Structure 1
Amino acid sequence: MKFYNSRGPNPRMVRMFMAEKGIDIPKVEIDLLAGENRREPYTTKVNPAGQCPALELDDGTVIAEITAICEYLDEIKKDTPSLIGDTPAERANTRMWTRRIDLNIIEPGANGFRFSEGLKLFENRVRCIPEAAEGLKATARDKLAWLDGLMGAKPFVAGNKISMADVLLFSFIDFMANVKQPLDPANKNIGAWFERMKARPSAAA
């Protein structure tokens, strides 16, 4: 297998997931800043969506989209604890929280960055809506506060053990803090959770 890697929170999420699972896959570095992911041969041979990361299997099949990659890796690596779940109910719970985080926090927060601080990088790559940036950032903040209230004393987002939802949220909260969207200190439950996640060896991936 080959892992098409680059800078940014999406590849980092998968690298952290692989570290948690004890998986090491050879990496092919893609120059995101130079737009290597947005032109041939990447768009014709790897991912027509022009996004990173991507996982190429031994038979040449390419899997893109970070949650799809992680679910595949979780299924093939059975000798380490699953980060999706061991039962249908656990897997459904993980996928529910992963989707909530993706739609409610990551998408608005990431687009808020793309449409403002990241505008010069993204304006010729995707449709940007600069006037929507501040509202999108506010949406992400609102949903982080909502999640903070639901977290309570739970050690992890989906319950008592780490899951894909935690890896996804951590990677993006850490990224957003570096693009002028820091976590509100009032979100004490998520703040404590973030520090626990940051202390895990996989956070260095």
Structure 2
Amino acid sequence: MKFYNSIGPNPRVVTLFMAEKCIEIPQVTVDLRGGENRRAPYNVDVNPAGQTPALELDDGSVLCEITAICEYLEERFPETPLIGTTAEERANTRMWTRRVDIKICEPLTNGFRFAEGLPLFETRMRCLPEAAAGLKAVAQDGIAWLDPPIADREFIAGDTLSLADLVLFAFLDFGASVGQPLDPAFTNVQRWYERMKSRPSANPN
């Protein structure tokens, strides 16, 4: 297999996932800032959507989208389960992963793309600068929504680390670096974030 990596929170989700499972896959670094992902051969031979990450399988086929890649790796390397070992556990992880993605990660990312990231993204996708402030506010609303449910548990989906935690951490950590810091008033999310930040997977050598 071969993993196409780059800067940004999406590839980081997969690198966190692999680190937690102690999976090592040869990597190719794609120059996102230089637009390598938006031109051949990458957007022809690897991902026609021109996005990272991507995982090339042993048969030459390619998987894209972080959830699909992580679910594939979970099935190939089931030790240290991060999605679940039963139908109920997997459904619960997918539910919480979807919630944090829609309520927090997606608006946070587009808020960045349409504001601080506009010089990079305005020639690559439709950008709506007038929507940036509102999208950032939506992301904050999502964090406010998440804060009470996790008051009495260590991780987002329950008592064990899951894909939901890795997705949210990668995006909140990214947000903190691009003008969308975590409000300390969200005390439960703040405690969770600090625990995640201290994990070895978040601090590779």
Give the share of equivalent positions with the same residue, in percent. Answer: 64
Distance (whole Å) between structure 2 residues aligned to residue 3 and residue 150 of structure 1: 35
2:127 aligns with 128
Is 1:82 the counterpart of 2:92? The answer is no
1:169 aligns with 168
1:19 aligns with 19
| Cα drift, residue 150 of structure 1 | 1.3
Q: CA RMSD in A?
A: 0.6
Residue type matched to 1:137 in 2?
K
1:101 aligns with 100
1:119 aligns with 118
C-alpha distance after superposition, 1:61-111 (max 9, x if no partner): 100000110010011012x22100011010000000001111111110100
Q: Any conservation in 2 of the 1:55–1:63 contact (CA below 8 Å)? A: yes
1:153 aligns with 152
| Cα drift, residue 204 of structure 1 | 2.0
| Cα drift, residue 187 of structure 1 | 0.5
Q: Any conservation in 2 of the 1:16–1:204 contact (CA below 8 Å)? A: no
Q: Any conservation in 2 of the 1:104–1:143 contact (CA below 8 Å)? A: yes
Other structure's SS at 1:15 match: helix
| Cα drift, residue 32 of structure 1 | 0.2
Distance (whole Å) between structure 1 residues aligned to residue 22 and residue 138 of structure 2: 35
Q: Any conservation in 2 of the 1:56–1:62 contact (CA below 8 Å)? A: yes
Other structure's SS at 2:147 match: helix
Other structure's SS at 1:3 match: strand
Distance (whole Å) between structure 2 residues aligned to residue 196 and residue 180 of structure 1: 22
The total of aligned residue pairs comes to: 204
1:57 aligns with 57
Distance (whole Å) between structure 1 residues aligned to residue 134 and residue 186 of structure 2: 19
| Cα drift, residue 45 of structure 1 | 0.2
Distance (whole Å) between structure 2 residues aligned to residue 122 and residue 143 of structure 1: 24
Structure 2 gaps of 5+ residues are none
| Cα drift, residue 115 of structure 1 | 0.2
When the two structures are superposed, what TM-score results if normalisation uses the length of structure 2? Answer: 0.98
Moved over 6 A (4+): none
Distance (whole Å) between structure 2 residues aligned to residue 4 and residue 71 of structure 1: 17
Residue type matched to 1:26 in 2?
P
Distance (whole Å) between structure 1 residues aligned to residue 117 and residue 128 of structure 2: 12
Is 1:190 the counterpart of 2:192? The answer is no
2:39 aligns with 39
Residue type matched to 2:25 in 1?
I
Q: Any conservation in 2 of the 1:101–1:169 contact (CA below 8 Å)? A: yes
